[in-house]
Amino acid sequence: MYLLFESTSDSVLMFKTNADHDYDEKKEFTSSYGLSDTVKNEINRLFDLKMKPKAIMESLPKMKNIKVPKMSQLRNYLSDRRRTIYGQSTISLGELEAWIHSHSSLPLYPHEVFVVCYRIDDSDEQNPTFRFVMSTKYLIEISKDASVVHADATYKLIWQSFPVLVCGTTDQNRKFHPVCVTIPNNEQKDFKLMFQGLKDKIQEIFESSWNPKVLVCDAAKSIQNAFLEVLENTS
């Protein structure tokens, strides 16, 4: 049904049909993103298989009777799907603080991630700072008797555009074992918080002193000074 308003009078013409809408079942209905439901279902299946956008694009032409989307359409759809599954790609300081508090207790499961220690300063609303250390009881147990500790900051591994500080140890077979990671939101590399948190948790969980003898790192004095400051009073 539709209405036609005549410009030369006040008359209104109504056109109406009693026939049912007849859609061609063979014609794919195109929904949001310019993708049909069939294509979206196939993309979802391939996405769940951890396939990358390029691999998905190579797989879609193998399907019959579909219109292969453009790469831009695919990327836009996958971006929204990730947001639906995993939530927003960014997190507010309030949300982060709530998550930290909810994961600060020691878990029962040895491989469950928890917050070893953290520091949040929001006194400056324009420039709040935070840093937190994460690990598992299993990884901390690996490090409690370690004599060699590795520590560094890497800009190849980032979170929310912030560098990740990594601490780990090596065994007698020279195999590296990551122990904990720290996320700071400013340029200051707070290795002291990481070392101190690890030391305190080893004492709390295993009633054991953490006393590594060797630190492997780059020439950054901040790492060396933090290591010496935390461990200088270790017996």
pLDDT in tens, 66-104: 788 888 888 888 888 887 887 766 777 788 889 999 999
Q: Which of 53, 86, 119 is the last residue of a domain?
A: 86
- As a whole-number percent, the residues of the chain with pLDDT over 90 amount to 38
Are 191 and 81 in the same domain?
no
Q: Which residue has the tokens 């491989």?
A: 111
Buried b vs exposed e over 47-60: b needs ≥16 C-beta within 10 Å? beeeeeeeebbebb
What confidence tier does 157 reach under pLDDT thresholds 50, 70, 90?
A: confident
What pLDDT sits at residue 234? 56
Number of domains in the chain: 2
Buried b vs exposed e over 98-133: b needs ≥16 C-beta within 10 Å? eebeeeeeeeeeeeeebbbbbebeeeeeeeebbbbb
Q: Structure pTM?
A: 0.61
Phi, psi of 66 (to 5 degrees): -130, 160
Are 99 and 49 in the same domain?
no
Enclosing domain of residue 143:
93-231
pLDDT digits 0-9 by tens, 122-149: 777 777 788 899 999 999 999 999 999 9
Is residue 52's pLDDT more than 50? yes
User: Nearest 5°: CA angle at 100, between 94 and 102?
Assistant: 105
Are 227 and 210 in the same domain?
yes
Are 69 and 119 in the same domain?
no
Higher per-residue pLDDT: 119 or 234: 119
Are 122 and 155 in the same domain?
yes
Q: Are 117 and 167 in contact (CB under 8 A)?
A: no
Are 37 and 130 in the same domain?
no
Are 50 and 78 in the same domain?
yes
Q: How many CB atoms lie within 10 A of CB 149?
A: 23
Q: Are 149 and 226 in contact (CB under 8 A)?
A: no
What pLDDT sits at residue 27? 41
- Cα distance between residue 168 and residue 181, in whole Å: 9
Are 139 and 72 in the same domain?
no
What pLDDT sits at residue 10? 66
What pLDDT sits at residue 162? 77
Q: Which of 86, 104, 139 is the last residue of a domain?
A: 86
